[in-house]
Amino acid sequence: MTRLLLVVVLLLAGMGAGLWFAQQAPEPAARDLVLHGNMDIRQAALAFDASGRIERMLVEEGETVAPGQTLATLDTTRARLALAEARARVDVQRAALARLEAGSRPEEIRQAAAELAAARVAARDARQVLDRQLELVAKRFAPEQQADSARNAFDAATQRVQAASELHRLAVLGPRQEDLVVARATLAAQQAEVARLEHEVAQGALLAPAAGVIESRVAEAGDMATPTRTVYVLTLNDKPWARVYLPEPALGRVARGARATIVSDGAPERRHAAWVGYVAPVAEFTPKNVETTELRTSLVYQARVYACAGSGAEVLRQGMPVTVHIPYDQPLTATQPCAPPP
């Protein structure tokens, strides 16, 4: 009986020791990091880049818009009238510049040459009259006053020849280079004014910067718009991301660019390929000066997990609760953001 009792005690002790060692054995390490968070969608507050009265509002809340689609327009009547005037000034200045660049016409050169020839003939005639008057004065057949008048007429004719010669030379040379420089600069300034007014007219249309959904319609037709006043709030379709928090022990095992999978609570059967696009460099709160081991392991770091394009991410909405799965210890050389989920 004593021997049987001893065997029973030994069996119970062995079972107890086995159970204790089983409880103390480390659990197999998890292969994936599972995090819970919420979806975040980028938004853009759209406003006109010019001031004016809103003429038309073309989309409503909840409508899907494409990149470059016109959402609203301003009354640009004043800017369009100023643009027409500026374009007319450009046409006038361009014609003036073309006239300068073309130089003198052949007809103008021939006219200047004819005027020079006529001045020379008149000068020869005045010289002949002066010579005759000098002869008459020498023979005392004419008073000295007539000779003086003839001499003055000859001098005037000589000056006219000089003036006609200079005019002919200017006609041959054409316009001054300084005049061409001024004309070209004036044309460039007027063309810049036209470009400015064209830009102002173009800013009268509010365009969608990217694909998305109109979340809010803030203004209405007839309101005054300014560059600081929001007209629409646009929710963008590109790169929805999940806001999650990495525990401090997992920080060294999850790198930026790591593959991930997003699963929404509303449709757990759908797995959206994703990747870790951002890990905060600091913890969410400032640790105490004296830390225990338990406190250090309770630190968390914000991370952003971006859903891949083409993964059905359009069903993910702002604030939607999601679960994120990130495989541990992914090799950096093999990391391919937006690879299909495993």
| pLDDT score, position 87 | 95
Amino acid at 255: A
DSSP state of 319: T
Q: Vertex 139, ends 136 and 140: CA angle to 5°?
A: 85
The packing angle between helices 77-102 and 177-202, to 10°, is: 160
User: What is residue 292's predicted lDDT score, i.e. its pLDDT?
Assistant: 44
Torsional class of 221: left (φ above 0), alpha (ψ -120 to 50), beta (otherwise): beta
**Two tokens, residue 341:** 């989920």
Q: How far is CA 33 from the centre of its chain?
A: 40
Please give the structure tokens belonging to residue 161: 């020849």
For 283, residues 6+ apart whose C-beta sits below 8 A from its C-beta are 248, 299, 300, 301
Please state the pTM of the whole predicted model.
Answer: 0.58
Nearest Cα residue to 317 out of 245, 237, 259: 237
User: Which one-letter amino acid corresponds to residue 248?
Assistant: E
Name residue, tokens 């119970």: 12
pLDDT of residue 191: 94
Beta strands in the chain (DSSP E): 32-40, 43-46, 52-57, 64-65, 70-74, 205-207, 212-217, 224-225, 232-236, 241-247, 259-264, 272-279, 300-307, 321-327
166 vs 116: CA distance, rounded Å: 9
Q: Do residues 218 and 206 touch, judged by C-beta distance below 8 A?
A: no
Exposed e or buried b for every residue in 175-200, given b needs 16+ CB within 10 A?
eeeeeeeebeeebeebbebbeebeeb
For the chain of 342 residues, list the mean pLDDT of each consecutive stretch of 10.
53 54 45 86 90 93 92 93 95 88 71 79 80 74 76 83 76 73 91 94 92 90 92 86 84 82 84 85 55 54 83 75 86 59 46
Residues in a beta bridge with 321: 38
C-alpha closest to that of 246 among 260, 236, 232, 235: 260
Beta bridge partners of 46: 232
Count of residues in the chain: 342
